[in-house]
Amino acid sequence: MVAEPPRPDPVALYRTMRLIRRFEERAVELARSGEIGSGVHACIGQEAVAAGVCAALRPDDIILSNHRGHGHLLAKGSEPGRLMAELTGRVTGVSRGRSGSFHPADFGAGVYGASGTVGHGAAIATGIAFALARQGGDRVAVSFFGDGAVNQGAMLESLNLASLWRVPAVFVCENNLYATTLPVRTAVAGSIVARAQAFDIPSSTVDGMDPDAVYDAAAAAVARARAGDGPTFLELLTYRFEGHHTFEYRTQPQYRDQEEIDRWRDRDPVPRQAERIPAQARGLVDEEVEALVEEAVRFALDSPRPDPVDVLDYLYANRIPLRAGVADA
Amino acid sequence: MPNMSYTKALNRALGEEMGSDPLVLVLGEDINLALNNVTTGLLDLFGPERVLETPLSEQGFTGFATGAALAGMRPVVEYQIPFLTLLVLEQIYNQANRYSLITGGQARVPVTYLLPATGWRPGWGAQHSDQPYGIFAHTGVKTVLPATPSDAYGLFLSAIRDDDPVVLLAPLPALGLRENVVYAELAPIPLGVGRVHRVGDDVTVVATGHLVHDALAVAEQLTDEVSVEVFDPRTIYPFDWAGLAASLEKTGRLVVFDDTTRFCGLGAEILATAVEQMRLVAPPRRVTRPDSAVVIGCERALDLAVQPSREQLASAIETVAKS
């Protein structure tokens, strides 16, 4: 058995959150300047979720991320430079520049992908959890998704299968109140946790702006999975301070009022955690993170872009002959 | 000499592979009772941990198979009805088959999707009678369509052992076929390698699935007027272009006999490639289902009217042979 991670030191939690925040702020800048061609779904405001959940995981546990996934990778241990290189489409990226910002995977860090179809990663995570349990040991799989995912059929089917087969999975719903522009109150009949409860999955709603509360809930869920007692569902109440995607800087869709945004910003998890640690430690972390993120950006922008000649590489694990789009002369 | 049925060949391949590789498991609906006869006896041999009876949740259990494969297993997923694989095209095409690409080669997704009764199901209605191999080939999913019991055995083994997603379609009209075999001589058949069932000099007929046997019958019937070579690609994607080119090098004449839709169908792709890149001395032809995947499925005369027939094939062969 691998040793359980100790309760995270408040400074370590702050460091993870500060890293995600600064990484994302730089990613937004690079998206707006065109260096990140896809734009990004920034998770600014939701850092406590990634930091708190991943602090409860071991390196050999697996997570399934989603389109708003940079924070998950950083919290799970991906190198910031290789993640930024992925976002900027470089061959040194975690997925060799083939996933961009949308689907980054870093198998070495236990990140088995990020589904672009909302909620469909839950089924994959359920299968991973089943396989982990069958292989012995006590590893767990975590599926991250948003409030939009809870209305997907695949999600509900996955909860049913996970409960029936008691797989060691934790379902983490980051309820940031909006599925793109659709407010959760107009999208979810009943409640989010009641969906999981209907499948006999223990569920709770937790303050997703407090990394300690997130960690406590996640650690209990992970312990339950490791013990063979089956899946747990966590709804983490959180908020994204940025738009759904950086395209909102251009299109300026109006679906949230400023009063709401300000109210959530008052609960910003990063300064909230900063207040829990000594000022000196905060200063050191800020300095270290600043250097780390600058180095990540430099590494990314200095890295080579993929050669279009290799565009069909990696299509198959067992390669097959592929014809070009133009017939040979 | 044992007389092995097509269905028994699938059952035998799956049972042997589960016996030799503990990472292989099978999941699907009504597989405990082996409603499609593919999983007969497997529950007793391997238990419910490896023979996973699923609820009616195709999206859930297809995505589940992707995850189990990512974590090192080799799942075989059985679909009771062909169209169910279209319900989960997201999970097969957009997730499983794209995993290797979008992870830059980090992921392998060795899942086999088994469709144990495709094509016309007399009496079962339009929604149960699809023959969807063209859709999977079009989207770049490895796709196999065995025509004989020994090919079904060998291609199923290779599909399970392949590190990518593979769809295996077993045409319903072929399921009752039997073949005398020596069990010890049964072997895996590599994906992407076709088979010349009948050697001929004048016209190459590319036939798929159960239509291979109709093509062989037509070739015999025409034997006094034209010498027909019958080529079965066995794997729809990747297609054995070299095998087809070798046959056309000899005959220079081509007819495709295919059980899918005419528009953007397999026949269209084969004709286009042959015209662009291979030796042809006469305009090629194809005999297919009509545009739109129409099968009524409840009235025999209506169903036969939309399926490629021996008469249509014979006529096409004669036309091409004379031109």
Amino acid at A181: T
- Whether chain B has a CB inside 8 Å of the CB on A327: the answer is yes
Distance CA A154, CA A171 (A): 13
Instruction: Estimate to the nearest angstrom the gap between the alpha carbon of B65 and the chain centroid.
Output: 21
Q: Any residues with CB less than 8 A from the CB of A147 and at least 6 apart, and which?
A: A173, A174, A175, A176, A177, A178, A179, A184, A187, A188, A192
Residue A177 domain-assigned?
Answer: yes
Contact B102 A103 (CB under 8 A): yes
Contact A117 B62 (CB under 8 A): no
Tokens representing residue A26 in the block: 């730089």
> Among B55-59, B156-160, B260-264, B292-296, whose mean pLDDT is lowest?
B292-296
pLDDT band at B303 (very low <50, low <70, confident <90, very high): confident
Residue A168 domain-assigned?
Answer: yes
In the stretch 254-283 of chain B, residues with CB closer than 8 A to chain A read 273, 276-277
- Whether chain B has a CB inside 8 Å of the CB on A129: the answer is yes
Q: Which of B70, B73, B100 sits opposite A315 (nearest CB)?
A: B100
Residue A329 domain-assigned?
Answer: no
Residue A319 domain-assigned?
Answer: no
Distance CA B64, CA A165 (A): 12
Contact B71 A123 (CB under 8 A): no
CATH no. for residue A291?
Answer: 3.40.50.970
- Whether chain A has a CB inside 8 Å of the CB on B71: the answer is yes
Q: Which stretch of DSSP H or E encloses residue B248?
A: helix B241-251
Instruction: Estimate to the nearest angstrom the gap between the alpha carbon of B87 and the chain centroid.
Output: 19
In the residue annotation, B138 being an active-site residue is answered as no
> How many CA atoms, within 13 angstroms, populate the side-chain half-sphere of residue B210?
22
Distance CA B133, CA B235 (A): 10
Q: What average pLDDT does range B147-173 have in this prediction?
A: 97
Q: What is the pLDDT of residue B294?
A: 72
Amino acid at A11: V
**Active-site residue, from B128, B197, B210, B213:** B128
**Averages of pLDDT over each 10 residues, chain A, 329 residues:** 82 98 98 95 96 97 96 98 97 96 96 91 97 95 96 96 98 95 94 97 98 97 98 98 93 94 96 96 98 98 95 94 76
Residue A160 domain-assigned?
Answer: yes
Residue A244 domain-assigned?
Answer: yes
Q: Using an 8 Å Cβ cutoff, are A122 and A145 in contact? A: yes
Q: What is the CA radius of gyration of chain A?
A: 20
Count of beta carbons in the 10 Å neighbourhood of residue A77: 15
Distance CA A37, CA A31 (A): 6
Residue B2 has pLDDT above 50, yes or no: yes
- Whether chain B has a CB inside 8 Å of the CB on A128: the answer is yes
Residue A320 domain-assigned?
Answer: no
Q: What is the pLDDT of residue B167?
A: 98
Domain count, chain A: 1
Tokens representing residue A174 in the block: 């980051």
Q: CA nearest A113 in B: which residue?
A: B103
Q: All domains of chain B, ordered by start, with CATH?
A: 3-185 (3.40.50.970), 195-322 (3.40.50.920)
Q: What is the pLDDT of residue A329?
A: 45
Tokens representing residue A65 in the block: 């991320």
Q: What is the pLDDT of residue A328?
A: 59
Residue B123 has pLDDT above 50, yes or no: yes
Distance CA B256, CA B274 (A): 11
Residue A231 domain-assigned?
Answer: yes
Q: Where are the beta strands (DSSP E) in chain B?
A: 3-5, 24-28, 51-53, 74-78, 112-118, 142-144, 166-171, 178-180, 195-198, 203-207, 228-232, 235-237, 254-257, 285-287
Distance CA B50, CA A41 (A): 39
> pLDDT for B232-286, tens place per residue?
999 999 999 999 999 999 999 999 999 999 999 999 999 999 999 999 999 999 9
In the stretch 135-174 of chain B, residues with CB closer than 8 A to chain A read 140, 142, 162-164
In the stretch 3-62 of chain A, residues with CB closer than 8 A to chain B read 62
Q: CA nearest A61 in B: which residue?
A: B71
- Nearest Cα residue to A16 out of A58, A68, A75: A75
ipTM attached to this prediction:
0.95
Give B106→chain A minimum CA distance, Å. 7
> pLDDT for B33-66, tens place per residue?
999 999 999 999 999 999 999 999 999 999 999 9
Distance CA A156, CA A153 (A): 5
Q: Any residues with CB less than 8 A from the CB of B239 and at least 6 apart, and which?
A: B137, B192, B233, B269, B270
Q: What residues make up the domain containing A114? A: 10-310
Residue B213 has pLDDT above 70, yes or no: yes
Is the model more confident about B130 or about B38? B38
Distance CA A33, CA A28 (A): 9
Burial bucket for residue B207 (CB in 10 Å: 0-12, 13-18, 19+): buried
Query: In the 3-class helix/strand/coil scheme, how is chain A assigned residue by residue?
Result: CCCCCCCCCHHHHHHHHHHHHHHHHHHHHHHHCCCCCCCCCCCCCCHHHHHHHHHCCCCCCEEEEECCCHHHHHHHCCCHHHHHHHHCCCCCCCCCCCCCCCCCCEHHHCEEEEECCCCCHHHHHHHHHHHHHHCCCCCCEEEEEEHHHHHCHHHHHHHHHHHHCCCCEEEEEEECCEECCEEHHHCCCCCHHHHHHHCCCCEEEEECCCHHHHHHHHHHHHHHHHCCCCCEEEEEECCCCCCCCCCHHHHCCCCCCHHHHHHHHCCCHHHHHHCCCCHHHHHHHHHHHHHHHHHHHHHHHHCCCCCHHHCCCCCCCCCCCCCCCCCCC
- Whether chain B has a CB inside 8 Å of the CB on A325: the answer is no
Contact B67 A135 (CB under 8 A): no
Pairs of residues, one from chain A and one from chain B, whose beta carbons lie less than 8 Å apart: 160
Contact A107 B91 (CB under 8 A): no
**In sequence order, what are the beta bridge partners of A146?**
A174
Which DSSP letter does residue B99 get?
H
Is the model more confident about A272 or about B119? A272
Strand order, beta sheet including A141-146: A111-115, A62-66, A141-146, A169-175, A232-237, A203-207
Q: What is the pLDDT of residue A1?
A: 60
* Cβ neighbours of A165 in B, within 8 Å: 52
Give A14→chain B minimum CA distance, Å. 30
- Would you say the C-alpha torsion B70, B76, B82, B83 has a positive or negative sign? negative
Give A165→chain B minimum CA distance, Å. 10
Give A176→chain B minimum CA distance, Å. 25
